A and B are shown apart, each in its own frame.
Chain A
């Protein structure tokens, strides 16, 4: 296996570098986070990054309904003028995005159009690696927020994901964020507590994987505490996973519903934990076929989860210092395919809301007719947004994290 493929397997498998392993990725419970309550500068902000796995169709999210080329390119898939939620005379939101539309009207939603990177890659896994590592030329094995964490002292509790496996974006060179499990929280029975405690000990000369297996026992106690602390937001998971509707081909994303993940984020923020970065995700956007209904269901989930979270955050001092950023690994082809879906494309939109975010348009809308082999030409590099978030939300010099990237999105804050 060549080095590139090997690395890709590591990333797509959720297996991060040995440094991250040693740092104990995953070995934290919510209790550990709640224990950090009050350990932070009350002025500091919090970043919540929402990853949409599968490649969300940007053109049916922020819809260029005023451009005749939009309807011409996807006659069956385009939304009629009467259905869209208008933002201005040219653009509108997907009908499913009622809450975000309201937020836009009150100036609380920023939309960055035409976001992408040079020489776009249309593989889900590769493009997601690029967004996670912020290294389009040659994705390495550290995530951009992992590198931020390296520079911020490396305490895993500063960067948290509520997914069973650690997303690569939180893996640094020397440290890694914490993956805090939220599902399956029934207490373990059967074996005495002393046995579990004994298994938690490290054994000299053991492989990294066996060390990790032992470290899981060390964490059980805090997870058990967590069960008593947190209301059971995983209950929503009992829904039938197989409705009649055929879903898109899966390409990743958390199984815990987005609203449940954001509920936990909200609890942590309100408890003023030390965490500065939360990573949450929603999968299922790989809509090669019968896209319209599928995407609307997912965007509806996103809309309700985001607006519910934003409303809740507006009610506390700590919550008013939270910034939310939403992205996907790529947009989709301008022209629909014959299956009423779209194939993998390039540039798309990012949505931002929260503390100090200036609502309205950012970045130029790509042309629907001046295309690069059927795909949109990006107008804003995603690293401009990352750099701006590092500077304005995480109070960090983006230089060491983003290889001295100079671009910024000046009017975002």
Chain B
């Protein structure tokens, strides 16, 4: 693999999709310096600073009472949906605008890991709050992240934590916390689930303010035995116990490998570092990571955000109708941010490669190509017709086209927007 191919591979996986200029700069810096810069950016992210999260008014449900009419409820429901759409579109725009692509993509990883859906949480403020928590702790060690998440209002609502009381513990959160978020199946027993649920009792969410609070009288202060340790565990102590298990670091490192490297090559041993950035360094530096080139199916959000960046299109600059098309397109592709289909997160790999998803990608590719900026089109048309497939590969940061794809692209060289759309649905672009 050449240096250019190596940094392109790294940037494709570590971020949402690099532009040709970013690959040029990385090639000049070399693979080692590129990785350092990705993991520890030297300057503050101007793109993120220019796209602050929306300031939302109070949750529309806060004003409702038992006496509220059906119309008032419907209105509040509609306002909530509008707020959620606003936050989702803001997030897409941030993903495109951010310079620190590693941190933005890592946030999306954590969102899929602690997979919480607005379908049940419903409040945009509460969902946004969870994103802020994941952002605050996402790069660091596991313990503060887990400790913050067991008190996260969105997660509590999603997994019925507010209904988990001393009198009758609700196991939903305790089970998924161990199975899906920290330890993985097989690293705990059913008795640990029951005892863990008792440790988490007492945390509730005020649906009016969206704030989680501890109610001592709902908490079970008694002794619990969890993972062989006995004590008066509360949520924080239980979170600490889980984070300290060697299985937790290994499990989370495995999940990172699954999303950043895929399943074709097994995860090497010893990836887990002291914090997530250290784990990512080990992951991207491992020889096995290089072997995964060309095998990972892009998730729909990765595919879309990468294309928007490469085509110079900012969601916030699009007319409203097209912004809505972005969301309906992601819906057709079965991956809408803030709405994972299951507490187990989104699927991966070939699950994204079905005829129905191809149709949705074709529709979106056409829309994206139509929205591409004149400057981007000029990069294609500056090349002589015969060289345009190669110019397209450079623009979309594809290492090269196989004979099949070249044969598909060549007849379109005279129609740059169609050429762009075809590039976006090509197997080489879809699978990175």
Instruction: List A residues at the B interface (Cβ < 8 Å).
Output: 1-2, 4-6, 8-10, 12-16, 21, 25-27, 29, 122-126, 164-165, 179, 181-192, 194-195, 198-199, 201-203, 206-217, 219-220, 223, 241-242, 244, 246-252, 255, 286, 288-289, 335-339, 341, 343-344, 373
Interface residues as binary, B158-182 with A (CB distance below 8 Å gives 1, 0 otherwise): 1110011101111110010001000
Interface residues as binary, B169-205 with A (CB distance below 8 Å gives 1, 0 otherwise): 1111001000100001110001001000000000000
B358 at interface by CB-CB < 8 Å: yes
* Contact (A194, B411) CB under 8 Å given A27-B355, A339-B160: yes
When distances are taken between beta carbons in the complex, the residues of chain A under 8 Å from B160 are 249, 288-289, 339, 341
Which applies to chain A's interface (DSSP): helix, strand, loop or mixed?
loop
When distances are taken between beta carbons in the complex, the residues of chain B under 8 Å from A179 are 354
- In contact, B355 and A12 (Cβ under 8 angstroms): no
Nearest neighbor of B408 in chain A, beta-carbon distance: A198
Interface residues as binary, B331-375 with A (CB distance below 8 Å gives 1, 0 otherwise): 010100000111110011111011111111011011000000000
- In contact, B427 and A210 (Cβ under 8 angstroms): yes
Looking at the complex, which one of B73, B165, B402 makes contact with A338 (CB distance below 8 Å)? B165
When distances are taken between beta carbons in the complex, the residues of chain B under 8 Å from A14 are 347, 350-351
Looking at the complex, which one of B170, B255, B264, B411 makes contact with A195 (CB distance below 8 Å)? B411
- In contact, A199 and B185 (Cβ under 8 angstroms): no
Nearest neighbor of A214 in chain B, beta-carbon distance: B427
**A72 to B117 alpha-carbon distance, docked (Å):** 34
Nearest neighbor of B190 in chain A, beta-carbon distance: A122
**A110 to B165 alpha-carbon distance, docked (Å):** 39
- In contact, A209 and B431 (Cβ under 8 angstroms): yes
**A188 to B53 alpha-carbon distance, docked (Å):** 35
- In contact, A207 and B264 (Cβ under 8 angstroms): yes
B294 at interface by CB-CB < 8 Å: yes
* Contact (A341, B170) CB under 8 Å given A242-B122, A250-B342, A289-B163: yes
When distances are taken between beta carbons in the complex, the residues of chain A under 8 Å from B295 are 207-209
**A224 to B159 alpha-carbon distance, docked (Å):** 41
Nearest neighbor of B197 in chain A, beta-carbon distance: A343
Interface residues as binary, B386-428 with A (CB distance below 8 Å gives 1, 0 otherwise): 0000000000000000111101110110000010011001111
17 pairs from A and B in contact (CB 8 Å cutoff): A2-B184, A5-B185, A15-B348, A165-B354, A184-B360, A185-B359, A190-B418, A206-B294, A207-B264, A209-B295, A210-B430, A213-B297, A220-B358, A288-B163, A337-B168, A338-B163, A338-B164
When distances are taken between beta carbons in the complex, the residues of chain B under 8 Å from A4 are 185-186
- In contact, A210 and B349 (Cβ under 8 angstroms): no
**A187 to B191 alpha-carbon distance, docked (Å):** 53
Q: Which 9 A-B pairs have CB atoms at the shortest separation, nearest pair first?
A: A339-B163, A1-B254, A338-B168, A198-B408, A181-B356, A190-B366, A213-B427, A14-B351, A188-B362
B214 at interface by CB-CB < 8 Å: no
When distances are taken between beta carbons in the complex, the residues of chain B under 8 Å from A344 are 171, 175
Shortest distance in angstroms between A255's beta carbon and chain B's nearest beta carbon? 8
- In contact, A242 and B81 (Cβ under 8 angstroms): yes
B289 at interface by CB-CB < 8 Å: no
**A373 to B20 alpha-carbon distance, docked (Å):** 60
Task: Given contacts A26-B354, A201-B407, A213-B353, list 14 more A-B pairs with CB under 8 A.
Answer: A1-B250, A15-B349, A125-B179, A165-B347, A181-B355, A186-B363, A189-B363, A191-B362, A195-B422, A216-B354, A216-B355, A216-B357, A216-B358, A242-B81
B285 at interface by CB-CB < 8 Å: no
Shortest distance in angstroms between B122's beta carbon and chain A's nearest beta carbon? 7
Instruction: List B residues at the A interface (Cβ < 8 Å).
Output: 73, 77, 81, 117, 119-120, 122, 158-160, 163-165, 167-172, 175, 179, 184-186, 190, 193, 250-251, 254-255, 257-258, 263-264, 266-267, 294-297, 332, 334, 340-344, 347-351, 353-360, 362-363, 365-366, 402-405, 407-409, 411-412, 418, 421-422, 425-428, 430-431
- In contact, B355 and A339 (Cβ under 8 angstroms): no
* Contact (A188, B363) CB under 8 Å given A26-B354, A207-B431: yes
Residue with the greatest number of chain B CB neighbours at <10 A, chosen from A207, A213, A214: A213
Nearest neighbor of B339 in chain A, beta-carbon distance: A241
Nearest neighbor of A246 in chain B, beta-carbon distance: B120
Nearest neighbor of A16 in chain B, beta-carbon distance: B350
* Contact (A216, B353) CB under 8 Å given A1-B266, A190-B366, A246-B120: yes
Shortest distance in angstroms between A11's beta carbon and chain B's nearest beta carbon? 10
When distances are taken between beta carbons in the complex, the residues of chain B under 8 Å from A338 are 163-165, 167-170
Shortest distance in angstroms between B217's beta carbon and chain A's nearest beta carbon? 13
Residue with the greatest number of chain A CB neighbours at <10 A, chosen from B167, B185, B340, B365: B185
**A331 to B137 alpha-carbon distance, docked (Å):** 37
* Contact (A191, B347) CB under 8 Å given A201-B404, A203-B402, A213-B431: no
* Contact (A123, B185) CB under 8 Å given A210-B294, A252-B344, A343-B171: yes
When distances are taken between beta carbons in the complex, the residues of chain A under 8 Å from B341 are 250, 252, 255
**A51 to B334 alpha-carbon distance, docked (Å):** 20
* Contact (A5, B254) CB under 8 Å given A188-B359, A337-B170, A338-B163: yes
- In contact, B122 and A246 (Cβ under 8 angstroms): yes
Shortest distance in angstroms between B138's beta carbon and chain A's nearest beta carbon? 20
* Contact (A336, B168) CB under 8 Å given A122-B175, A203-B402: yes
- In contact, B163 and A126 (Cβ under 8 angstroms): no
- In contact, B359 and A186 (Cβ under 8 angstroms): yes
Nearest neighbor of A244 in chain B, beta-carbon distance: B77
When distances are taken between beta carbons in the complex, the residues of chain A under 8 Å from B171 are 288, 337, 343-344
- In contact, B169 and A191 (Cβ under 8 angstroms): no
When distances are taken between beta carbons in the complex, the residues of chain B under 8 Å from A10 are 263
Looking at the complex, which one of B163, B165, B348 makes contact with A341 (CB distance below 8 Å)? B163
- In contact, B120 and A247 (Cβ under 8 angstroms): yes
